[in-house]
């Protein structure tokens, strides 16, 4: 039976009739779903009713989009990622459906402020940071560009922890996202996946004596999918993010129950459903490693099973799989997709090894996001054998055949098989997951030009030599719909009034703003927008951190995960220098500064958590010293998340991108801040280099050692922090202050570990080597900020020249060069 479906609400101005109809739709859901009258409804109830009112249009659009793809027999992309940091969806959906004004007017008629109720939506904390936020940006771009692209992830009950700051220390609290009751999740119970884990291999033989291992005695976990609509700008295409929840297998539980062991049945149920409870279980102990391996396999197995099932609806010939399916692994976590796809093709569909391997390689692609060894996962073979015995067999076979290929390609290098093997032997046998992802993919890319070069030259040089054509670069990008249109409506309005609204779907047209960079009237309007954003952030800082800051001060922003390589510590050392200048040298800053930090440290990362304490301790001393109050404030906003970033970024004057050169893969925070008119101070690391190339060397503040300098120092073992301490009075005074308990009077010696890591631990992240250059460059920042017209010109040029860094451009490159994916329009 054919049904008539409503089209998404149209763009453009809405009549009074449209507004009244939408108001009634909201009130309908308020009454019949929330069970509330308007008079007794809370703001949260109204938020839920509004979300349900536009959900109708999202579901209609999803169905129409799916029908269109099916009719066109389109190739589909499946983007596997352990993280999707989507944040809040209500405002984003209203903007992309172009019904924000309609909703605002409808709510106004019932005496409700849209901005106020949007605050009642909880962030979907399904990620940790840049990796997950990038994945969310990619989904937005895919839908906006009418491309058949779907995200596949896990429906964590407890995503990234909620961070509280107590006495300057990070305290982790459960960060529950109530996905069960989210209006944005559509449960697809009938499309469940049955996922086997553990068990053993029966080494039986066919009658023809072909080896036929059988995986037996496994435990089953059920994967229940939930779809979150992802609406492209304008509402023409609505894809989805499919999130899997783990559930216990009824059959398995009943079996145990019938055997008379009720408590074991309940225990098994709890154990199975824990798989999707928490984002990244700690892998510091073997139990945590096991949980994390099961979690990663659960994502991969659900995804592959779902992908194959969708493929088989229209196709029977598996050799056509690469023509119809692109499976992309977002970092190393989903690398098991290679082994699982091979297992499904061989064990469940009886393909020959060579055929299955050709299909797998042509279907899979892999993005590397980090040079840090800690993120390039390796699993003990003993653990693998217990959890995934069949997959270990497959990986051994992949490795055997691959190493034969290596020997042919490198006949004179007897050590190269050891370096390239999927199985490492040095410190106990381990499966190298990055090697598995590389060997099983037709494309391997980095995420910035420098990073991709380092992937080839430093991280995987042997693989790049063997397969140079497989390695490529895809510089990251961000979606301007979320990070300018939604996050900074005042600046968006000014840009649209000045150059039109084409930039919303073609960010390159921002270059037209360059013509207005020296226009005094436009500069005034531009800086008024910034000033108003800073006033709003100052109020938030007062509410959240109980610190009063001056909106007219320079807002110096460092917002990102707390990690030693990102060098929040370098920033703090410079703040200490500024503070000592004020109180000891009686040399006030040329312009007042407000240093704003936000970010979370991994719960088990002691040094990062100590750096958080240092930031807050320095802030407590500085903010309460009357000698410094007029010139310097230090603030750390707790619980950094997407919605908080949307408030901080539009107010930033200076963007801190100061990682040690050669460690940051790309960065996307740098792009978001530049897009919103912040000038960057940074090293030549990650995408900073490409931002500099786009905005111009005169419109960015670059300091510090470059990759080659650091590599040379390390190879020659020539870096000695004590030389900088002895020869530079600024550095000596800062380090003496750090060790003197100036900032830890309540607990003497509290920051000794930080001091010792620099002075006695070799200062691996080269803080002292870059500190004087950083101090000097920060002085240049102050000198420029004291010249408002020149600052405004450079800030406008940063916005005008950031067009390259749209995720639309990134997705276009992936689609053309890796996925062979096409736009599918009506």
Going 492 to 495 to 496 to 502, the CA torsion angle's sign is negative
**566 is an active site residue:** yes
E strand spans, 440-480? 444-446, 471-473
CB-count burial class (<10 Å; 0-12, 13-18, 19+) for 231: buried
> Cβ contacts of residue 342 below 8 Å, gap of 6+?
356, 357, 360, 394, 398, 440
Distance (Å, whole) CA 179 – CA 266: 23
Distance (Å, whole) CA 307 – CA 325: 8
**672 is an active site residue:** yes
| Joined tokens for residue 573 | 């050392």
> DSSP character for 8?
P
Distance (Å, whole) CA 575 – CA 596: 11
Give the H/E segment covering residue 187. Answer: strand 186-187
**668 is an active site residue:** yes
User: Is 667:658 a contact under the CB 8 Å cutoff?
Assistant: no
Distance (Å, whole) CA 527 – CA 531: 6
**561 is an active site residue:** yes
Phi, psi at residue 5, to the nearest 5°? -110, 140
**CA 583 to chain CA centroid, nearest Å:** 40
- Of 36, 289, 482, 561, the active-site residue reads 561
DSSP 632-678: EEEEEESS--HHHHHHHGGG-SEEEE-PPTT-----SHHHHHHHTTP
User: Is 331:367 a contact under the CB 8 Å cutoff?
Assistant: yes
User: Is 155:179 a contact under the CB 8 Å cutoff?
Assistant: yes
Strand partners, 378: 432
> Cβ contacts of residue 666 below 8 Å, gap of 6+?
130, 369, 446, 447, 448, 451, 475, 476, 686, 687
- Of 567, 672, 794, 804, the active-site residue reads 672
CB-count burial class (<10 Å; 0-12, 13-18, 19+) for 68: middle
Q: What residue has token string 């944040």?
A: 87
CB-count burial class (<10 Å; 0-12, 13-18, 19+) for 111: exposed
| Joined tokens for residue 720 | 């000695």
Mapping DSSP to helix (H, G, I), strand (E, B) and coil, where does residue 548 land? coil
User: Is 425:432 a contact under the CB 8 Å cutoff?
Assistant: no
**804 is an active site residue:** no
Give the H/E segment covering residue 21. Answer: helix 16-32
- Of 23, 333, 560, 609, the active-site residue reads 560
Burial 656-689 (b: 16+ CB within 10 A, else e): bbbbbbbbbbbbbbbbbbbbbbbbbbbbbbbbbb
> DSSP character for 515?
G
**343 is an active site residue:** no
Strand partners, 153: 243
- Of 668, 674, 683, 777, the active-site residue reads 668
User: Is 415:629 a contact under the CB 8 Å cutoff?
Assistant: no
DSSP 299-344: HHHHHHHHHHHHHHTT---GGGHHHHEEEEEESSTTTHHHHHHHHI
- Of 566, 801, 804, 809, the active-site residue reads 566
User: Is 43:111 a contact under the CB 8 Å cutoff?
Assistant: no
Query: Could you tell me which of 547, 719, 510, 515 has the C-alpha nearest to residue 629?
Result: 547
Q: Count CA atoms within 13 Å of residue 316 on its CB side.
A: 0
Q: Please identify every residue annotated as catalytic.
A: 369, 560-561, 566, 668, 672
């Amino acid at each position: 039976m054919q049904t008539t479906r409503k089209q998404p609400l149209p763009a453009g101005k809405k009549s009074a009739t449209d507004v009244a109809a939408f108001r009634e739709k909201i009130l309908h859901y308020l009454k019949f779903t929330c069970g509330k009258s308007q008079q007794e409804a809370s703001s949260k109830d109204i938020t839920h009713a509004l979300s349900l009112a536009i959900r109708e249009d999202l579901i209609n659009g999803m169905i129409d989009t799916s029908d269109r793809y099916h009719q066109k027999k389109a190739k589909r992309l499946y983007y596997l990622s352990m993280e999707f940091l989507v944040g809040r969806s209500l405002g984003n959906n209203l903007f992309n459906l172009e019904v924000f004004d309609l909703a605002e007017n409808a709510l106004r008629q019932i005496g409700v402020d849209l901005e106020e109720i949007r605050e009642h939506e909880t962030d979907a904390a399904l990620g940790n940071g840049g990796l997950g936020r990038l994945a969310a940006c990619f989904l937005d771009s895919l839908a906006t560009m009418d491309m058949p692209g779907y995200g596949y992830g896990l429906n964590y009950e407890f995503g990234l922890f909620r961070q509280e700051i107590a006495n300057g220390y990070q305290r982790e609290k459960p960060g529950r996202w109530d996905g069960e009751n989210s209006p944005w999740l559509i449960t697809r119970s009938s499309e469940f996946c049955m996922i086997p884990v553990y068990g053993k291999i029966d080494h039986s033989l066919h009658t023809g004596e072909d080896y036929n291992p059988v995986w037996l005695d496994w435990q089953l976990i059920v994967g229940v999918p939930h779809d979150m609509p992802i609406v492209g700008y304008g509402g023409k295409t609505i894809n989805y993010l499919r999130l899997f929840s783990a559930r216990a297998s009824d059959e398995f539980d009943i079996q145990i129950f019938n055997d008379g062991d009720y408590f074991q049945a309940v225990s098994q149920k709890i154990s199975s459903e824990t798989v999707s409870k928490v984002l990244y279980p700690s892998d510091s102990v073997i139990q945590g490693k096991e949980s994390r391996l099961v979690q990663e396999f659960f994502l991969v197995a659900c995804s592959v099973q779902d992908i194959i099932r969708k493929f088989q609806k229209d196709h029977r010939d598996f050799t056509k799989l690469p023509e119809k399916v692109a499976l992309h692994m977002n970092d190393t976590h989903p690398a098991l997709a290679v082994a699982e796809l091979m297992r499904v093709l061989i064990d469940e569909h009886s393909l020959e090894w060579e055929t299955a391997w050709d299909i797998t390689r042509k279907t899979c692609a892999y993005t590397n996001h980090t040079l840090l060894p800690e993120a390039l996962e390796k699993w003990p073979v003993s653990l693998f054998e217990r959890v995934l015995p069949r997959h270990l067999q497959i990986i051994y076979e992949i490795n055997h055949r691959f190493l034969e290929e290596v020997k042919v390609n490198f006949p004179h290098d007897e050590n190269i098989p050891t370096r390239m093997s999927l199985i490492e032997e040095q410190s106990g046998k381990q499966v190298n997951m990055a090697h598995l992802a590389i060997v099983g993919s037709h494309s391997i890319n980095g995420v910035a030009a420098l990073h991709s070069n380092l992937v080839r030259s430093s991280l995987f040089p042997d693989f790049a030599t063997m397969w140079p054509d497989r390695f490529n670069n895809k510089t990251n990008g961000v979606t301007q719909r979320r990070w300018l249109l939604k996050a900074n409506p005042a600046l968006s309005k000014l840009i649209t009034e000045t150059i039109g609204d084409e930039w919303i779907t073609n960010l390159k047209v921002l270059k037209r703003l360059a013509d207005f960079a020296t226009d005094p009237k436009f500069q005034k309007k531009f800086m008024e927008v910034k000033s108003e954003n800073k006033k709003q952030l100052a109020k938030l800082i007062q509410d959240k951190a109980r610190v009063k800051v001056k909106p007219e001060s320079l807002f110096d922003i460092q917002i990102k995960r707390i990690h030693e390589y990102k060098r929040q510590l370098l920033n703090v050392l410079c703040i200490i220098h500024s503070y000592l200048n004020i109180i000891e040298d009686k040399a006030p800053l040329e312009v007042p500064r407000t240093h704003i930090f936000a970010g979370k440290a991994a719960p088990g990362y002691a040094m990062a958590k100590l750096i958080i304490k240092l930031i807050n301790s320095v802030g407590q001393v500085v903010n309460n010293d009357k000698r410094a109050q007029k010139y310097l404030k230090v603030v750390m906003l707790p619980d950094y998340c997407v919605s908080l970033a949307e408030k901080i970024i539009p107010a930033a004057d200076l963007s801190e991108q100061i990682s040690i050169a050669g460690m940051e893969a790309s960065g996307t925070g740098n792009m978001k801040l530049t897009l919103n008119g912040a000038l960057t101070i940074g090293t030549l690391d990650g995408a900073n280099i490409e931002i500099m190339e786009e905005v111009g060397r005169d419109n960015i503040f670059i300091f510090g050692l470059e990759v080659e300098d650091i590599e040379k120092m390390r190879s020659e073992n020539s870096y000695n922090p004590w030389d900088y301490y002895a020869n530079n009075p600024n550095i000596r005074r800062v380090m003496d202050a750090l060790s003197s308990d100036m900032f830890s009077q309540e607990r003497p010696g509290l920051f000794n570990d930080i001091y010792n890591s620099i002075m006695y631990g070799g200062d691996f992240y080269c803080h002292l080597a870059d500190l004087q250059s950083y101090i000097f460059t920060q002085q240049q920042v102050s000198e420029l900020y004291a010249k408002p017209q020149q600052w405004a010109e450079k800030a406008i040029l940063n916005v005008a020249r950031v067009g390259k860094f749209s995720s639309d451009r990134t997705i276009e490159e992936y689609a053309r060069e890796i996925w062979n994916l096409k736009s599918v329009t009506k």
